[in-house]
Structure 1
Amino acid sequence: MRLKDEKKWGVYAKLLLGIVLCTVLTITISSTILFIYFNRITLKEDYQSDLRDLTQTSREVNHMTDTAQSLTFQLYRNHTIMKLMFYPEPSIYDSIAAMNELSNYLNSMPYIESIYVYNPKSEYVYIAADSGQNGLLTKQELSDKGVLDLIEHYRDYKPFTPIPRTYNSNNESDAKNVYTYLGYDAIGSGNTVNSAIIVNISVSWINKEIADGDQKPGRSYIMDNRGLLLSGEDLSPAAFTAEGTAKLRTIAGSGLEGYSLSQIDGRKYLVSYTKPDGLDWRYLRVTPYERVTENIRQIRTTTILITLAILAAGILAAWVLSRKLYAPYGLIASRMQTLEAANRNNVYTLRQHLLRGLVLGNEPLNPKSLRARLSQMNITFDFQKPYRLVLLRIDRFRQLSTLRGADLKAYRYAMMNIGSELGMQYYHVESVEIEGDAILFVFGDTGKLDMEDEAELVVLLQQIQQAIAEHLHIGISVAYSALEHQVLHLKALYHQVDTASGHRFFHGLGTIIRAQECILPDSKAYVFPVDKEKRMTDALMAGKTEEAKLCMKAIMEGTLAFPIGAAQAAIARLAITLNNVLYTFHRNKLIDPEAVPVLITSAVDELETMEEVGGAFLAAIDQLHGLIVEKRSMKQEDLIRRINDIVDVSYGDPNLSLNAIAQELDLSPSHLGRIYKQMTLETLVDVINRTRVGKAAELLNRTQEPVAEIAGKTGFTNTSYFYRMFKKYYGLTPSDYRKKSS
């Protein structure tokens, strides 16, 4: 009913879900388009921002180039400084005046790191610097050896083109990153310069726009007119492999400005680059692609979450609205389904009632009226043709009822369907629901099989057993009747197959029983073997467990030739006998009063096979024997404990012996000695002697009493016997033992 309701109001749910899914699909597609569009906008904005920074840096470099060129011209026209450039040995006053001029220029231009004046005819290099080496330095004292290399290879550099380089001033560990501008006079000089002025401008000053851009992801690079790719921040080589560096040169070598998404060294980057400036320099900024699109990815994640929320809300709304829209229609449909189910159940109930009445003999068997009633119930079974009854009994029915009591009717109905579907391949089948653990099938002749061929029938019954076990995990036992042609014999035939199914007790669970083979005398003819019962009781009382088991088995096997009622009576009688023996032992205090169990309870109702009943009785006999042995063992352990206590207390008594202890405990000496030997594997005499010798050893250790007195205190009346026993247990005489201990 509930599933059908869900299918009906599911129409509304599908309609609303379709709308919701279309909405979600629209949002997803539009979000994807917007994501791609915003991604492009982000890339373009990042490129334009990078381009502004890089272009500004290019302007700064070109401006500084003009400034350095102007400064160099001024220095060359300064008469005081010219003396340093052209006089091999200017006077000290001229040198001081020139250095002051250089310092003035240096102080007026904070972006200048240092100024060098070079005269190849002089042994000195004149340096004006904010830090590091300053003043007149010989070429050997000069830390910046790179500037000498620049002057020597001046033809390799374009005049007044900045040369990015790093040098150490005054041998300091911190490197200075500068743009070096080389101004020189080489007119008519051949391969050497007549004079040179070197202006070093700080990289951080020129590239302050790049430095400000450090807050953004990525890193800036410079590709100079020689094709070198250097970091814009510290003039270090590009942190890429040779292949990656070559790819960057290719990207920026087009002569135009722009940006590119490229895979460099296995990682995707946004590369923004400028066109060559007046110095033929290009500026690049390399930014990891995931950093550029980080915000866009957050937008995408937010969009996905919103889409999922809309989908969840739409599903919930579809469910709620579907229920509300379905309510009026559902009420009508529910009433119609109720009427249909009632009518269907009523017809099924009437069919089952009629068939059950025929089987149990509660319906009149007038052939004409019966045929009309069968036709009215749409039962086409012809009882005038050969038919037979098949009775299924559920194994472990009590356990199944306990575990699955609420679904038991459904299980029975499923078994009826399985048996009918398999049986209809060969027979005309009608199923009858019998109370309790039984289901009855009537197999009629259809002409497909020979009804007298029981081998085919047994194969079919095995298939039914297997199908029920596979699908329902339930075991069944089957009994089938002989062939019959008259409806008048239906009741007798059912009694026959019902009686035969009870022989599952003897054959075991899951068996297929032929009813004709179970025609037995009446159970009233069975006589319980009282003599075997008495022998079993005597054996139990005498502790002869195996003999008692044999008597019990003989009594059970004696019921095999009789109906199940005889076995049930014998089981009940045996249960009473075992419980009587148990309580006899209890009265005679042969078992612990606090551990008296109930050995056999409701065996006939709970156990379904003779094997199970026999196992229960054997376990009860073993349990009874175990209680007796346990009680006996506890008594013997208590006796041993009392004997050891007497020895520990009275070891100094010379009269302490097996006979004295037996007399104190009111037992015979032989019985006492045998029990003690069985329980401890030692004789009582050995235990007494060992205890006395142990006590004597303690006295020898902690006292200076004579050996003879110690022997008397520990129960030895004969000193030589004491010496012999002491040496037996300790391997030394008492005197030697005392010396060794001291």
Structure 2
Amino acid sequence: MRGLGFGFGFYKSRRYFQRVLFSIMIAMALVLTGLSAVNSYVLERSVRSVQEDSNLKVLTQIQYNLSYMNEIIVRLSTFAYGDNFLIPLMYSEPLPQMDYIRGYNEMEKLMESSSFLHSMAVYNAGSGELYGSSSEFLVDGGETKRKMLDWLLRSPLPLPTSRLIPVSLGREGGDIDAFAFIVTDALRAYEGKESALILYIKPDWVFDSLRRMNGAGSGQGAIFIRTPDGNLLSDGQSSGVYAPKPEAVTALVAGTDPDRDASSGFVVGNAGDGKSIVTFMRGIGDWTILYIQPYAPLMKEVRESREKALLVTGAFLLIAAAVSFWLSFKLYGPIDAMLRRIRPHVKDGATGGGSNELDLMGDNVLRLSERLREISAEQIVEKHYLRTFLSDGGSIPEADMAQLIERHGLQLASDGPYCVCVFRIDRHADYERATTSSARRLHAFAILNIAQEQLSGDYRCETVDMHDGHSVLILSGPGVGAGMEAARPIVWDIQDTIERYYGLSLTCGIGDPVSRLSQLSAAYRQSCQLCLYMFAKGYKSIVLPEDVRANLSGGRRTLPPDIERRLTEALKKGQLTNAGGELEKAFALLTDFQYDDMLRAVSDLAWAVKNTAAEMINNRLVSISIDPEQIPRIMEGDRSLEDIYMSFLSACAQICETQRAPGAERYEWIVGTIKTLIEQKFQDPNLSQQSIASTVKLTSAYVGKLFKDQCGTTVTEYMNEVRLAHARRLLLQTDDTIADIMDQCGYSNQSYFFRLFKGKFGSTPKEYRIKRSLSS
């Protein structure tokens, strides 16, 4: 931290330091605040969950008490409704005096035997008379009787039977002083048309259970019973402490239980007296038992915990701020050291207030700036315009194109000439399948930067990735007018560098120079078409218009029909040599075709071989080791004619081997093919017996045994013979380094190469070169 300084000027002049500092502080603040918020949320959820379990246990006990009491009432009502002394009161008309006396006596006995009964009444629908057991019923001049009849016969809605109904018999203001239980001989709601027995239950019988549970609780909240009409019944004491609104409670319970089938539930919301916790459970009949608690007192500990967490978070934020300062200084140290080395070389006025430290370093490190500009907003715009020039240049006026070049500082000459150079990765379909998108982006970046670096010495150059496997360079300046043949050695170096470092084979198409910007799109299309001639020229080709001039001259070309006829006849006769000769003639002719004609001719050959194999299977009942349906797929993918030719040879060999017993001619042909492959591809470090067997569509074991039997040596030994002979020639005729010679001969392991060379020639490569130079 020495040399950084701590004055206000230090912070003001170092904007990147400010960014680092504030980024770290904000990140720490977000993490700490987020942890505090999550902790409070989890704690609140935990407390609510525990409270819900506790409340449901309380409501379960109340439900059990009410169910037990309800069962007693049902049994008593069933007994009383069938009592022989009460039946005359319900049905006799007129009622004999003795039956009247016996009925009253029976009601008195039932009242004395049941402590929970408030009173009883019997209604005779025939006479319209109501007989009651309470003292008020007999001595208040008929007032109680009138109330009972009004409630029973003139209720606005039918009264449910065999259920407890809250009623007010003697209290003013509608306070509940009993629960009525109506019994009739019908199961439907009571409408006053039939005789009935009415039991009036003391309210304490119900409310005592609520009162005891409320007293056993924490004193926060109260237990209520909600009737079907939405009224809340309480024990008369707790309702004065906490008085929720019935309609609000009904809305909360209904919103929590949309299917109306759940037996219990838990919801938090406004119950009419502030935020509350409402726990509900189905009781007897249509009753719902509710435990309603004010939210704030229950969450007091959570609130206090949240406040403590905020205090702790604040303290840690202060610590985080101090740590942020220390960490920022540590991270900024290397940048400040670099700035001290750069500043003596910066021109006066170049460190204006509008630049930060990274901008200053970027302005003075040109190479780094060039690589970073690809991801800048300005570079994205430039690449967009370059892609437009190449794909649809004719739609933009040439004056506008020149203006865009000048405005964005593109490395293109405004007056031409121009040339488009397209690099395309060979075997592109296989490459796409085997490579991740991030690796493809890296490779495109490397190709463009390496190509631009090597070509910019002779041309003004702009690069762009066209996102379709094409890496494009637009060259301009006087060097373009001199012709592009001079660019061929530079492009070869680019291809060699990419292959050396990334293992990628590139084909390059270089179009004809054009004089106008509006012609760039035509030049791009021409270069893309030239890349397609990798099909005939082979992998890692450099294709200029003069290289394919013979292909493009004349009209459409096709193979002579005699070749296809003789090929199919040779296959049917099992004459592999003749079939191979016809294939060689066909592919020799194909190299002079236009690209589309090549594809068409190869496809025709593939279908001819496929149809011949299928015909042989159908007509001769022979078994062929290759599936005929796979033969047309030989040309799938971005393969060269050479690869396709070898695949055709392999397919023909497998077809012919079913026609006759293996003979010397066939063996010699296969061995000759293997030797040709080795002599042509010995530079490929991945060349092996397995890859050769895959190319000729035979098993590795079969190839190894056949080659050993025919040549007396293994495939690997022959491959090393070819490579070592080539290495010996390079040692004697060139000044290439040992490492370069290894690469050119397909060796990647130095110790393995040295061991083989010494075993073959008796000395290491270096000693061999020195001895030969001395002897000459």
TM-score range, shorter chain: 0.3 to 0.5
**TM-score normalised according to structure 1 size:** 0.38
